[in-house]
Structure 1
Amino acid sequence: MKKFDGLDQAMIERFAPRPGRRPLLPELSEKAQVALMCRMLFREGWNEHIAGHITFRLDNGNILTNPWELAWDELTASDIVTLDSSGQVIDSDWNVTPAIGLHLQLHALRPDIHVVIHNHAHWSGIWANLQRVPPVYDQTGAHCGVKLPLYNEYQGTFEDEATSLSAAEALGDSKWALLANHGSLVVGKDLRQAHLRAITLEWRSKRAYEVELAGGAVPLSDEEVEKVSITDANGFPFCWEAMARRELRADPSIVD
Protein backbone atom coordinates (compact mmCIF):
# COMPACT_ATOMS: atom_id res chain seq x y z
CA MET A 1 0.00 0.00 0.00
CA LYS A 2 1.22 3.48 -0.80
CA LYS A 3 2.33 5.52 2.19
CA PHE A 4 2.72 9.20 2.95
CA ASP A 5 4.77 10.17 6.00
CA GLY A 6 3.96 6.82 7.55
CA LEU A 7 0.21 7.17 6.90
CA ASP A 8 -1.52 4.66 4.65
CA GLN A 9 -4.78 5.41 2.84
CA ALA A 10 -6.90 3.77 5.53
CA MET A 11 -5.37 6.01 8.18
CA ILE A 12 -5.96 9.12 6.07
CA GLU A 13 -9.63 8.13 5.76
CA ARG A 14 -9.77 7.79 9.55
CA PHE A 15 -8.98 11.49 9.82
CA ALA A 16 -12.30 12.50 8.25
CA PRO A 17 -14.51 14.39 10.75
CA ARG A 18 -16.97 12.13 12.57
CA PRO A 19 -20.23 12.85 14.38
CA GLY A 20 -19.69 13.99 17.93
CA ARG A 21 -16.49 15.89 17.23
CA ARG A 22 -16.34 19.66 17.26
CA PRO A 23 -17.20 20.90 13.75
CA LEU A 24 -14.17 22.13 11.83
CA LEU A 25 -16.31 24.83 10.19
CA PRO A 26 -19.75 26.30 10.73
CA GLU A 27 -22.42 25.27 8.27
CA LEU A 28 -21.72 27.13 5.03
CA SER A 29 -23.89 27.81 2.02
CA GLU A 30 -22.51 26.85 -1.38
CA LYS A 31 -22.07 30.53 -2.21
CA ALA A 32 -20.15 31.07 1.03
CA GLN A 33 -17.85 28.20 0.11
CA VAL A 34 -17.08 29.76 -3.28
CA ALA A 35 -16.42 33.15 -1.68
CA LEU A 36 -14.10 31.49 0.83
CA MET A 37 -12.30 29.71 -2.01
CA CYS A 38 -11.66 33.06 -3.70
CA ARG A 39 -10.27 34.54 -0.47
CA MET A 40 -8.13 31.48 0.25
CA LEU A 41 -6.55 31.39 -3.20
CA PHE A 42 -6.00 35.15 -3.25
CA ARG A 43 -3.77 34.67 -0.21
CA GLU A 44 -1.89 31.91 -2.06
CA GLY A 45 -0.91 34.20 -4.95
CA TRP A 46 -3.89 33.82 -7.26
CA ASN A 47 -4.37 37.56 -7.00
CA GLU A 48 -3.84 39.45 -10.24
CA HIS A 49 -6.10 42.44 -9.55
CA ILE A 50 -9.63 41.64 -10.79
CA ALA A 51 -8.46 38.85 -13.12
CA GLY A 52 -9.48 35.26 -12.61
CA HIS A 53 -12.63 33.23 -12.28
CA ILE A 54 -13.87 30.24 -10.35
CA THR A 55 -16.88 28.19 -11.38
CA PHE A 56 -18.60 25.60 -9.20
CA ARG A 57 -21.23 23.41 -10.87
CA LEU A 58 -24.07 22.43 -8.56
CA ASP A 59 -26.00 19.16 -8.59
CA ASN A 60 -28.90 20.83 -10.40
CA GLY A 61 -26.65 21.92 -13.28
CA ASN A 62 -26.48 25.60 -12.31
CA ILE A 63 -23.04 27.17 -11.90
CA LEU A 64 -21.77 29.55 -9.22
CA THR A 65 -19.07 32.05 -10.15
CA ASN A 66 -17.41 35.24 -8.95
CA PRO A 67 -18.49 38.56 -10.51
CA TRP A 68 -16.19 40.35 -12.93
CA GLU A 69 -16.17 43.66 -11.06
CA LEU A 70 -14.79 42.48 -7.70
CA ALA A 71 -11.33 41.33 -6.65
CA TRP A 72 -11.10 37.93 -4.98
CA ASP A 73 -10.12 39.39 -1.60
CA GLU A 74 -13.31 41.47 -1.25
CA LEU A 75 -15.95 38.92 -2.21
CA THR A 76 -18.70 37.78 0.12
CA ALA A 77 -21.29 35.05 -0.34
CA SER A 78 -23.94 37.52 -1.48
CA ASP A 79 -21.70 38.61 -4.37
CA ILE A 80 -21.48 35.14 -5.92
CA VAL A 81 -23.42 34.86 -9.16
CA THR A 82 -25.60 31.94 -10.23
CA LEU A 83 -25.57 30.97 -13.92
CA ASP A 84 -27.54 28.42 -15.85
CA SER A 85 -25.62 25.82 -17.85
CA SER A 86 -25.45 28.14 -20.88
CA GLY A 87 -23.90 30.98 -18.85
CA GLN A 88 -26.96 33.18 -18.41
CA VAL A 89 -27.11 35.07 -15.11
CA ILE A 90 -30.00 33.94 -12.90
CA ASP A 91 -29.80 35.97 -9.71
CA SER A 92 -27.40 38.92 -9.78
CA ASP A 93 -26.87 42.45 -11.06
CA TRP A 94 -23.13 41.84 -11.29
CA ASN A 95 -21.44 41.09 -14.62
CA VAL A 96 -19.62 37.89 -15.52
CA THR A 97 -16.26 37.81 -17.27
CA PRO A 98 -16.41 37.41 -21.07
CA ALA A 99 -13.90 34.58 -20.62
CA ILE A 100 -16.48 32.41 -18.84
CA GLY A 101 -16.78 30.38 -22.04
CA LEU A 102 -13.65 28.39 -21.18
CA HIS A 103 -15.29 27.26 -17.95
CA LEU A 104 -18.61 26.42 -19.57
CA GLN A 105 -16.88 24.36 -22.23
CA LEU A 106 -14.79 22.51 -19.65
CA HIS A 107 -17.89 21.70 -17.61
CA ALA A 108 -19.61 20.43 -20.77
CA LEU A 109 -16.61 18.35 -21.89
CA ARG A 110 -15.78 16.97 -18.45
CA PRO A 111 -18.76 15.71 -16.44
CA ASP A 112 -16.26 14.52 -13.81
CA ILE A 113 -15.26 18.07 -12.86
CA HIS A 114 -17.42 20.48 -10.89
CA VAL A 115 -14.81 23.18 -10.19
CA VAL A 116 -12.74 25.18 -12.69
CA ILE A 117 -10.24 27.81 -11.54
CA HIS A 118 -8.28 30.22 -13.72
CA ASN A 119 -6.09 33.16 -12.77
CA HIS A 120 -2.71 34.72 -13.52
CA ALA A 121 -1.11 33.26 -10.41
CA HIS A 122 2.26 34.55 -9.24
CA TRP A 123 4.68 31.60 -9.19
CA SER A 124 3.01 29.28 -11.68
CA GLY A 125 2.60 32.32 -13.91
CA ILE A 126 6.39 32.69 -14.04
CA TRP A 127 6.70 29.16 -15.42
CA ALA A 128 3.84 29.78 -17.85
CA ASN A 129 5.73 32.79 -19.19
CA LEU A 130 8.93 30.76 -19.39
CA GLN A 131 6.93 28.09 -21.24
CA ARG A 132 8.46 25.48 -18.97
CA VAL A 133 7.00 22.94 -16.56
CA PRO A 134 8.41 23.28 -13.01
CA PRO A 135 10.10 20.13 -11.66
CA VAL A 136 8.95 18.69 -8.33
CA TYR A 137 11.62 19.18 -5.68
CA ASP A 138 9.82 18.44 -2.43
CA GLN A 139 6.99 16.55 -0.76
CA THR A 140 4.51 19.42 -0.71
CA GLY A 141 5.00 20.06 -4.42
CA ALA A 142 4.30 16.38 -5.05
CA HIS A 143 0.78 16.22 -3.61
CA CYS A 144 -0.98 16.12 -6.98
CA GLY A 145 1.28 14.06 -9.21
CA VAL A 146 3.81 14.80 -11.94
CA LYS A 147 1.97 15.44 -15.20
CA LEU A 148 1.44 19.16 -15.86
CA PRO A 149 0.46 20.03 -19.45
CA LEU A 150 1.68 23.27 -21.02
CA TYR A 151 -0.83 24.72 -23.45
CA ASN A 152 1.44 26.78 -25.69
CA GLU A 153 -0.75 28.00 -28.55
CA TYR A 154 -1.47 31.45 -27.21
CA GLN A 155 -4.05 33.19 -29.38
CA GLY A 156 -5.18 35.99 -27.10
CA THR A 157 -7.58 36.02 -24.20
CA PHE A 158 -10.40 33.52 -23.82
CA GLU A 159 -13.33 35.66 -24.92
CA ASP A 160 -13.17 33.96 -28.33
CA GLU A 161 -15.18 30.71 -28.33
CA ALA A 162 -12.88 28.84 -30.72
CA THR A 163 -9.82 29.75 -28.67
CA SER A 164 -11.39 28.68 -25.38
CA LEU A 165 -12.69 25.45 -26.93
CA SER A 166 -9.24 24.53 -28.23
CA ALA A 167 -7.79 25.12 -24.75
CA ALA A 168 -10.55 23.06 -23.13
CA GLU A 169 -9.97 20.19 -25.55
CA ALA A 170 -6.20 20.41 -25.07
CA LEU A 171 -6.61 19.89 -21.33
CA GLY A 172 -7.98 16.42 -22.04
CA ASP A 173 -8.35 14.49 -18.79
CA SER A 174 -5.66 16.49 -16.97
CA LYS A 175 -6.20 18.04 -13.54
CA TRP A 176 -4.38 21.30 -14.28
CA ALA A 177 -2.37 23.13 -16.93
CA LEU A 178 -0.07 26.06 -17.53
CA LEU A 179 -1.30 28.48 -20.19
CA ALA A 180 1.79 29.87 -21.92
CA ASN A 181 2.23 33.63 -21.50
CA HIS A 182 -1.11 33.74 -19.74
CA GLY A 183 -1.69 31.95 -16.44
CA SER A 184 -2.80 28.80 -14.68
CA LEU A 185 -5.80 26.49 -14.88
CA VAL A 186 -6.97 23.95 -12.30
CA VAL A 187 -10.01 21.67 -12.30
CA GLY A 188 -11.42 19.33 -9.67
CA LYS A 189 -14.35 17.18 -8.67
CA ASP A 190 -15.09 19.46 -5.71
CA LEU A 191 -13.76 22.53 -3.93
CA ARG A 192 -11.52 20.56 -1.58
CA GLN A 193 -9.71 18.74 -4.38
CA ALA A 194 -9.42 21.87 -6.54
CA HIS A 195 -8.02 23.83 -3.58
CA LEU A 196 -5.27 21.28 -2.96
CA ARG A 197 -4.37 21.30 -6.65
CA ALA A 198 -4.23 25.10 -6.82
CA ILE A 199 -2.04 25.52 -3.73
CA THR A 200 0.17 22.59 -4.74
CA LEU A 201 0.73 24.05 -8.20
CA GLU A 202 1.75 27.36 -6.66
CA TRP A 203 4.04 25.74 -4.08
CA ARG A 204 5.65 23.47 -6.68
CA SER A 205 6.28 26.48 -8.92
CA LYS A 206 7.67 28.63 -6.10
CA ARG A 207 10.04 25.96 -4.83
CA ALA A 208 11.27 25.11 -8.33
CA TYR A 209 12.02 28.77 -9.03
CA GLU A 210 13.89 29.14 -5.73
CA VAL A 211 15.88 25.93 -6.25
CA GLU A 212 16.93 26.98 -9.74
CA LEU A 213 18.00 30.40 -8.45
CA ALA A 214 20.13 28.60 -5.86
CA GLY A 215 21.91 26.62 -8.56
CA GLY A 216 19.60 23.68 -9.13
CA ALA A 217 19.16 20.25 -7.58
CA VAL A 218 17.89 16.78 -8.40
CA PRO A 219 14.07 16.67 -8.61
CA LEU A 220 12.07 13.90 -6.99
CA SER A 221 11.61 10.87 -9.21
CA ASP A 222 8.21 10.34 -10.80
CA GLU A 223 7.84 7.21 -8.66
CA GLU A 224 8.35 9.13 -5.42
CA VAL A 225 5.97 11.87 -6.54
CA GLU A 226 3.25 9.31 -7.23
CA LYS A 227 3.69 7.82 -3.74
CA VAL A 228 3.04 11.21 -2.17
CA SER A 229 0.16 12.13 -4.47
CA ILE A 230 -2.31 9.78 -2.76
CA THR A 231 -3.68 12.96 -1.17
CA ASP A 232 -4.96 14.26 -4.51
CA ALA A 233 -8.06 12.07 -4.64
CA ASN A 234 -9.80 13.81 -1.73
CA GLY A 235 -7.64 16.77 -0.76
CA PHE A 236 -5.14 16.92 2.08
CA PRO A 237 -6.90 16.04 5.38
CA PHE A 238 -8.28 19.15 7.12
CA CYS A 239 -6.34 21.63 4.95
CA TRP A 240 -9.37 23.21 3.24
CA GLU A 241 -11.08 23.74 6.58
CA ALA A 242 -7.98 25.21 8.22
CA MET A 243 -7.48 27.73 5.43
CA ALA A 244 -11.19 28.58 5.46
CA ARG A 245 -11.03 29.24 9.22
CA ARG A 246 -8.08 31.57 8.66
CA GLU A 247 -10.17 33.68 6.30
CA LEU A 248 -13.20 33.63 8.60
CA ARG A 249 -11.08 34.86 11.51
CA ALA A 250 -9.79 37.71 9.36
CA ASP A 251 -13.23 38.65 7.99
CA PRO A 252 -16.35 36.90 9.35
CA SER A 253 -18.49 38.86 6.86
CA ILE A 254 -17.38 36.56 4.01
CA VAL A 255 -20.38 34.32 4.65
CA ASP A 256 -22.90 37.20 4.48
Structure 2
Amino acid sequence: MMNDELNHDLLARYIPRPGRYALLPELTAHQRVALLCRVLYREGYNDHIAGHVTVKQDDGTYLANPWELTWGEVTASDILRLDQTGKVIEGEWNITPAINLHMDLHAARHDVEVVIHNHPRWAGVWSAAGRIPPVYDQTSALVDSDPVLYDEYRGTVEDTVLGRAVVTALGAQKWAMLANHGVLVVANGIRQAHLRAITLEWRSRLAWHVEALGGGAPLPAHVALATGERTDANGFPFLWEAMAREEIRRDPTVLE
Protein backbone atom coordinates (compact mmCIF):
# COMPACT_ATOMS: atom_id res chain seq x y z
CA MET A 1 0.00 0.00 0.00
CA MET A 2 1.38 3.42 -0.92
CA ASN A 3 2.07 6.09 1.74
CA ASP A 4 -0.82 8.32 0.60
CA GLU A 5 -3.20 5.37 0.84
CA LEU A 6 -1.97 4.58 4.33
CA ASN A 7 -2.51 8.16 5.44
CA HIS A 8 -5.93 8.30 3.76
CA ASP A 9 -7.02 5.16 5.61
CA LEU A 10 -5.67 6.45 8.91
CA LEU A 11 -7.37 9.81 8.58
CA ALA A 12 -10.64 8.31 7.34
CA ARG A 13 -10.75 6.02 10.34
CA TYR A 14 -10.26 8.66 13.01
CA ILE A 15 -11.31 12.10 11.75
CA PRO A 16 -14.91 12.96 12.70
CA ARG A 17 -17.59 13.75 10.17
CA PRO A 18 -16.89 17.02 8.33
CA GLY A 19 -18.26 19.97 10.25
CA ARG A 20 -19.02 18.02 13.43
CA TYR A 21 -16.20 19.56 15.46
CA ALA A 22 -14.20 22.75 15.13
CA LEU A 23 -10.82 21.46 16.29
CA LEU A 24 -9.34 24.97 16.01
CA PRO A 25 -10.76 28.41 15.32
CA GLU A 26 -10.02 29.81 11.90
CA LEU A 27 -6.46 31.10 12.14
CA THR A 28 -4.45 33.61 10.15
CA ALA A 29 -0.99 32.73 8.89
CA HIS A 30 0.53 34.98 11.55
CA GLN A 31 -1.43 33.19 14.28
CA ARG A 32 -0.30 29.78 13.07
CA VAL A 33 3.37 30.82 13.17
CA ALA A 34 3.00 32.28 16.66
CA LEU A 35 1.29 29.10 17.85
CA LEU A 36 4.03 26.94 16.35
CA CYS A 37 6.65 28.92 18.27
CA ARG A 38 4.66 28.66 21.49
CA VAL A 39 3.97 24.91 21.36
CA LEU A 40 7.57 24.13 20.44
CA TYR A 41 8.76 26.28 23.33
CA ARG A 42 6.74 24.00 25.65
CA GLU A 43 8.42 20.98 24.05
CA GLY A 44 11.94 22.22 24.81
CA TYR A 45 12.76 24.61 21.97
CA ASN A 46 13.51 27.24 24.57
CA ASP A 47 17.13 28.38 24.43
CA HIS A 48 16.36 31.93 25.56
CA ILE A 49 16.01 34.14 22.44
CA ALA A 50 17.88 31.73 20.17
CA GLY A 51 16.16 30.00 17.30
CA HIS A 52 14.18 30.99 14.23
CA VAL A 53 11.19 29.80 12.25
CA THR A 54 10.35 30.81 8.69
CA VAL A 55 7.17 29.94 6.82
CA LYS A 56 6.92 30.60 3.09
CA GLN A 57 3.82 32.43 1.86
CA ASP A 58 2.02 32.16 -1.48
CA ASP A 59 3.29 35.59 -2.56
CA GLY A 60 6.94 34.55 -2.13
CA THR A 61 7.46 36.37 1.16
CA TYR A 62 8.24 34.67 4.48
CA LEU A 63 6.81 34.96 7.97
CA ALA A 64 9.30 34.70 10.82
CA ASN A 65 9.56 35.15 14.58
CA PRO A 66 11.42 38.26 15.81
CA TRP A 67 14.92 38.19 17.23
CA GLU A 68 14.17 40.02 20.48
CA LEU A 69 11.45 37.74 21.88
CA THR A 70 11.48 34.23 23.30
CA TRP A 71 9.33 31.67 21.55
CA GLY A 72 7.27 31.47 24.73
CA GLU A 73 6.07 35.07 24.56
CA VAL A 74 5.64 35.76 20.84
CA THR A 75 2.15 36.70 19.62
CA ALA A 76 0.62 36.92 16.16
CA SER A 77 1.18 40.67 15.93
CA ASP A 78 4.91 40.16 16.63
CA ILE A 79 5.44 37.97 13.56
CA LEU A 80 7.54 39.60 10.84
CA ARG A 81 7.23 39.44 7.07
CA LEU A 82 10.49 39.10 5.13
CA ASP A 83 11.39 39.45 1.48
CA GLN A 84 13.41 36.81 -0.35
CA THR A 85 16.68 38.26 0.93
CA GLY A 86 15.58 38.06 4.57
CA LYS A 87 14.92 41.79 4.93
CA VAL A 88 12.04 42.84 7.19
CA ILE A 89 9.26 44.40 5.10
CA GLU A 90 6.47 44.21 7.69
CA GLY A 91 6.66 44.25 11.48
CA GLU A 92 8.11 46.21 14.39
CA TRP A 93 10.98 43.98 15.47
CA ASN A 94 14.37 42.87 14.14
CA ILE A 95 15.25 39.59 12.46
CA THR A 96 18.19 37.41 13.52
CA PRO A 97 21.47 37.87 11.58
CA ALA A 98 21.38 34.08 11.06
CA ILE A 99 18.31 34.33 8.80
CA ASN A 100 20.60 33.72 5.81
CA LEU A 101 20.52 30.02 6.74
CA HIS A 102 16.77 29.98 6.15
CA MET A 103 16.90 32.02 2.97
CA ASP A 104 19.55 29.75 1.49
CA LEU A 105 17.58 26.67 2.46
CA HIS A 106 14.32 27.96 0.99
CA ALA A 107 16.17 28.87 -2.22
CA ALA A 108 17.71 25.42 -2.47
CA ARG A 109 14.61 23.44 -1.49
CA HIS A 110 11.45 24.52 -3.29
CA ASP A 111 9.58 21.67 -1.57
CA VAL A 112 10.14 23.30 1.82
CA GLU A 113 7.54 25.63 3.30
CA VAL A 114 8.72 25.69 6.93
CA VAL A 115 12.25 25.86 8.34
CA ILE A 116 12.93 25.52 12.08
CA HIS A 117 16.29 26.02 13.78
CA ASN A 118 16.85 25.98 17.51
CA HIS A 119 18.92 24.46 20.32
CA PRO A 120 16.43 22.23 22.18
CA ARG A 121 17.56 20.68 25.43
CA TRP A 122 17.60 16.94 24.72
CA ALA A 123 18.45 16.98 21.03
CA GLY A 124 21.18 19.39 22.06
CA VAL A 125 22.70 16.70 24.28
CA TRP A 126 22.89 14.24 21.38
CA SER A 127 24.17 16.85 18.93
CA ALA A 128 26.88 17.81 21.42
CA ALA A 129 27.85 14.14 21.60
CA GLY A 130 27.80 13.86 17.81
CA ARG A 131 25.32 10.95 17.94
CA ILE A 132 21.89 10.18 16.52
CA PRO A 133 19.47 9.01 19.26
CA PRO A 134 18.09 5.49 18.77
CA VAL A 135 14.34 4.93 18.35
CA TYR A 136 13.16 3.29 21.58
CA ASP A 137 9.38 3.72 21.30
CA GLN A 138 6.61 4.39 18.80
CA THR A 139 6.41 8.13 19.52
CA SER A 140 10.08 8.39 18.60
CA ALA A 141 9.24 6.72 15.28
CA LEU A 142 6.63 9.19 13.99
CA VAL A 143 9.07 10.38 11.30
CA ASP A 144 10.33 7.76 8.87
CA SER A 145 14.04 8.56 8.76
CA ASP A 146 17.06 9.31 10.92
CA PRO A 147 18.32 12.88 11.11
CA VAL A 148 21.40 13.84 9.14
CA LEU A 149 24.40 14.40 11.42
CA TYR A 150 26.41 17.47 10.44
CA ASP A 151 29.47 16.77 12.55
CA GLU A 152 31.57 19.88 12.05
CA TYR A 153 31.02 23.04 14.07
CA ARG A 154 33.01 25.92 12.66
CA GLY A 155 31.04 28.89 13.98
CA THR A 156 27.59 30.48 14.08
CA VAL A 157 25.45 30.27 10.97
CA GLU A 158 25.09 34.00 10.29
CA ASP A 159 28.37 33.48 8.44
CA THR A 160 27.21 32.93 4.86
CA VAL A 161 29.71 30.19 4.05
CA LEU A 162 28.97 28.25 7.23
CA GLY A 163 25.22 28.60 6.78
CA ARG A 164 25.43 27.24 3.23
CA ALA A 165 27.54 24.33 4.45
CA VAL A 166 24.66 23.34 6.75
CA VAL A 167 22.19 23.57 3.85
CA THR A 168 24.45 21.35 1.76
CA ALA A 169 24.75 18.84 4.58
CA LEU A 170 20.97 18.63 4.94
CA GLY A 171 20.58 17.93 1.22
CA ALA A 172 17.13 16.54 0.45
CA GLN A 173 16.54 15.21 3.97
CA LYS A 174 13.91 16.19 6.55
CA TRP A 175 15.97 17.12 9.58
CA ALA A 176 19.52 17.41 10.84
CA MET A 177 21.44 17.43 14.08
CA LEU A 178 24.20 20.02 14.05
CA ALA A 179 27.13 18.85 16.18
CA ASN A 180 27.88 21.13 19.15
CA HIS A 181 25.04 23.37 18.05
CA GLY A 182 21.40 22.33 17.70
CA VAL A 183 18.86 21.06 15.18
CA LEU A 184 17.42 21.95 11.79
CA VAL A 185 13.95 20.77 10.74
CA VAL A 186 12.20 21.39 7.41
CA ALA A 187 8.65 20.56 6.35
CA ASN A 188 5.93 21.20 3.80
CA GLY A 189 3.55 22.81 6.28
CA ILE A 190 2.90 23.73 9.91
CA ARG A 191 1.41 20.37 10.94
CA GLN A 192 4.31 18.41 9.49
CA ALA A 193 6.86 20.82 10.95
CA HIS A 194 5.30 20.48 14.38
CA LEU A 195 5.34 16.68 14.23
CA ARG A 196 8.94 16.49 13.07
CA ALA A 197 10.19 18.97 15.67
CA ILE A 198 8.46 17.38 18.65
CA THR A 199 9.35 13.86 17.51
CA LEU A 200 13.03 14.76 17.43
CA GLU A 201 12.96 16.17 20.96
CA TRP A 202 10.87 13.28 22.34
CA ARG A 203 13.18 10.76 20.69
CA SER A 204 16.23 12.50 22.11
CA ARG A 205 14.82 12.74 25.63
CA LEU A 206 13.63 9.14 25.82
CA ALA A 207 16.87 7.75 24.37
CA TRP A 208 18.93 9.68 26.91
CA HIS A 209 16.91 8.20 29.78
CA VAL A 210 16.99 4.67 28.37
CA GLU A 211 20.74 4.79 27.90
CA ALA A 212 21.19 6.32 31.35
CA LEU A 213 19.60 3.12 32.68
CA GLY A 214 22.17 1.07 30.79
CA GLY A 215 20.51 0.82 27.38
CA GLY A 216 17.59 -1.00 25.85
CA ALA A 217 16.34 -2.59 22.66
CA PRO A 218 15.52 -0.07 19.92
CA LEU A 219 12.53 -0.72 17.70
CA PRO A 220 13.33 -2.94 14.72
CA ALA A 221 14.15 -0.75 11.73
CA HIS A 222 11.24 -2.01 9.65
CA VAL A 223 8.75 -1.31 12.46
CA ALA A 224 10.08 2.23 12.95
CA LEU A 225 9.93 2.85 9.21
CA ALA A 226 6.35 1.60 8.89
CA THR A 227 5.25 3.75 11.83
CA GLY A 228 6.80 6.90 10.37
CA GLU A 229 5.38 6.25 6.92
CA ARG A 230 1.87 6.29 8.39
CA THR A 231 2.26 9.64 10.12
CA ASP A 232 4.97 11.88 8.71
CA ALA A 233 3.32 12.86 5.42
CA ASN A 234 0.25 14.51 6.96
CA GLY A 235 0.99 14.63 10.66
CA PHE A 236 -0.49 12.53 13.43
CA PRO A 237 -4.29 13.00 13.45
CA PHE A 238 -5.44 15.75 15.85
CA LEU A 239 -1.99 16.27 17.43
CA TRP A 240 -1.16 19.76 16.12
CA GLU A 241 -4.70 20.91 16.79
CA ALA A 242 -4.68 19.59 20.36
CA MET A 243 -1.40 21.27 21.24
CA ALA A 244 -2.50 24.54 19.61
CA ARG A 245 -5.78 24.48 21.56
CA GLU A 246 -3.87 23.89 24.77
CA GLU A 247 -1.70 26.92 24.10
CA ILE A 248 -4.71 29.09 23.28
CA ARG A 249 -6.37 28.04 26.54
CA ARG A 250 -3.17 28.76 28.45
CA ASP A 251 -2.72 32.22 26.94
CA PRO A 252 -5.33 33.54 24.48
CA THR A 253 -3.15 36.60 23.79
CA VAL A 254 -1.02 34.42 21.50
CA LEU A 255 -3.65 35.14 18.82
CA GLU A 256 -3.50 38.93 19.23
Q: CA deviation at 1:20?
A: 2.2
1:113 maps to 2:101: no
Aligned to 1:28: 27
Residue type matched to 1:246 in 2?
Answer: E
SS in structure 2 of the partner of residue 60 of structure 1 = coil
CA distance, structure 2, for counterparts of residue 68 and residue 148 of structure 1: 26
Moved over 4 A (4+): none
CA distance, structure 2, for counterparts of residue 161 and residue 255 of structure 1: 34
Unpaired segments ≥5 residues, structure 1: none
Q: 2:7 aligns with which of 9, 12, 22?
A: 9
1:80 maps to 2:79: yes
Aligned to 2:251: 251
CA distance, structure 2, for counterparts of residue 21 and residue 65 of structure 1: 33
RMSD of the alignment, in Å?
Answer: 1.5
CA distance, structure 2, for counterparts of residue 54 and residue 168 of structure 1: 15
Mark the CA change 1:217 to 1:165 in structure 2 (over 3 Å): closer, same or farther.
same
CA distance, structure 1, for counterparts of residue 189 and residue 92 of structure 2: 26
Unpaired segments ≥5 residues, structure 2: none
- 8 Å Cα contact 1:2-1:227 kept in structure 2: no
Aligned to 1:238: 238
Aligned to 1:185: 184
Q: TM-score, normalised by structure 2?
A: 0.95
Q: CA deviation at 1:17?
A: 5.7
Aligned to 1:146: 145
CA distance, structure 2, for counterparts of residue 62 and residue 17 of structure 1: 34
- 8 Å Cα contact 1:146-1:222 kept in structure 2: no
- How many correspondences in the alignment? 253
CA distance, structure 2, for counterparts of residue 103 and residue 16 of structure 1: 34
Residue type matched to 1:222 in 2?
Answer: A
SS in structure 2 of the partner of residue 118 of structure 1 = strand
Identity of aligned residues (%): 55
Mark the CA change 1:71 to 1:224 in structure 2 (over 3 Å): closer, same or farther.
same
Aligned ranges 1:37-48 → 2 under 5 Å: 37-48=36-47
1:141-186, CA deviations, whole angstroms, 9 ceiling, x for partnerless residues?
Answer: 0010232111012111011101101110110011000000000111
CA distance, structure 2, for counterparts of residue 16 and residue 115 of structure 1: 25
Q: CA deviation at 1:8?
A: 5.0
Q: TM-score, normalised by structure 1?
A: 0.95
SS in structure 1 of the partner of residue 63 of structure 2 = strand
